[in-house]
Structure 1
Amino acid sequence: MKRPEFIANRLREIFISGYWIANTNYKDQLQSINREHAVRQVGDLNTIADLTYHINYYLSGILNVFNGGLLEIKDQYSFDLPPIYAEAEWKQLVKKLLANAAAFADEVEKMPDEKLDEVFVDEKYSTYLRNIEAVIEHSYYHLGQIVLIRKLIRK
């Protein structure tokens, strides 16, 4: 198996269909949450909706680069979730995250192996591989938070 295929499978595992590392994934966690729970504040923690928006923000920003666009995302805006008033708005956010995750994995899988070692946008951002690995690590970090927040909400 080539690196891009291996990495794409890891991305699908965390977002869509895997259970090996965390015994869950974003799809399983988010599709079973309603809007009320998604926006519920637990102490000073981010809400599940905030975390969903945050991860999708980075996926869509990097995906834009994969598709020939510019890197336009900025950390300071990564939690700028507009208010979610309706269940349909929450479901749309989840749908958007899962669609971007699938597209992200597909783009990684199509990459030539040598692309992974190329500079990502600018040398200060390291390589494509480093950025994709960061997405995986960052996503697992926040998936863990989502799991814990769900447990706190159920109490």
Structure 2
Amino acid sequence: MKRSEFIANRLREVLLNGYWIANTNYKEQLLSITWQQAVHQIADLNTIAALTYHINYYLAGLLNVFKGGLLEIKDQYSFDLPPIQSETDWKKLVEEFLVNSASFANEVAQMRDEKLDQVFIDEKYGTYLRNVEGVIEHSYYHLGQLVLIKKLIFAAGK
């Protein structure tokens, strides 16, 4: 198996269909909650909707680069979630997240291994590999938050 395929499988594990490390994944978690639960605020924690938007923001931004576009994302905008006011709004965000997750993993799987070692846009950003591994680590970090927030929401009877 090529290195890029191995890394793509790690992405799929956290985002779409894995159970090995976290015993769950984003897809499973996101498809099992309502829009009201997704936007329910617990203390000063991020909402599940905000975390979903946040990870999707980076997936979409990096996908744009993978497809030959510019790096246009900025950390300061990564939590600028548009209002979620209905099930339709929530399903749209989840669907976009799932499509971007699959596309991102597929793009990584198709990368030549040499590409993984190339500089990503600018040396200050490291290599393609560093950025993809960063997405994996970042995704697990926020998946843990999402699961805990979901448990708090359910415990509150929401």
Within the alignment, does 1:106 sit opposite 2:114 as a pair?
no
Q: Which runs of 5+ in 1 are unaligned?
A: none
Aligned twin of 1:152? 152
Any idea what the Cα deviations from partners look like across 1:117-152, whole Å, max 9, x if unmatched?
000000000000000000000000000000000000
3-state secondary structure, aligned to 1:138: helix
Q: Which amino acid aligns with 1:95?
A: E
Aligned twin of 2:13? 13
Aligned twin of 1:133? 133
Aligned twin of 2:39? 39
Aligned length: 155
CA distance in 2, matches of 1:57, 1:10: 19
**Cα shift at 1:2:** 1.1
Aligned twin of 1:26? 26
CA distance in 1, matches of 2:154, 2:34: 12
CA distance in 1, matches of 2:106, 2:148: 29
**Cα shift at 1:55:** 0.2
What TM-score, normalized by structure 1, do the two folds share? 0.99
RMSD: 0.4
Aligned twin of 2:87? 87
CA distance in 1, matches of 2:143, 2:149: 10
Any idea what the Cα deviations from partners look like across 1:50-76, whole Å, max 9, x if unmatched?
000000000000000000000000000
Q: Which amino acid aligns with 1:24?
A: T
Q: Which amino acid aligns with 1:72?
A: E
CA distance in 2, matches of 1:68, 1:92: 25
Aligned twin of 2:143? 143
Counting aligned pairs with the same residue, the percent is: 73
Any idea what the Cα deviations from partners look like across 1:65-123, whole Å, max 9, x if unmatched?
00000000000000000111110110110010010000000000000000000000000
CA distance in 2, matches of 1:17, 1:77: 28
Q: Which runs of 5+ in 2 are unaligned?
A: none
Task: Give every structure 1 segment of 4 or more consecutive aligned residues whose post-TM-superposition deviation is greater than 4 Å.
Answer: none
What TM-score, normalized by structure 2, do the two folds share? 0.97
